[in-house]
Amino acid sequence: MDFNLFMNDVVDAARKDIREAGYEELRTPEEVDAAVNREGTTLFMVNSTCGCAGGVARPAAANSIHYDKRPDHLVTVFAGQDREATEKARQYFEGYPPSSPSFALLKDGEMVTMLERHDIEGSSAVEVIGKLQQVFDENCKEV
Q: Which residues are catalytic?
A: 50, 52
Which residues face 43 on adjacent strands? 74, 105
DSSP 8-state code for residue 55: I
Do 105 and 43 meet the contact criterion of CB atoms below 8 Å apart? yes
Do 73 and 107 meet the contact criterion of CB atoms below 8 Å apart? no
Closest residue by Cα to residue 28 from 71, 81, 103: 81
Do 105 and 114 meet the contact criterion of CB atoms below 8 Å apart? yes
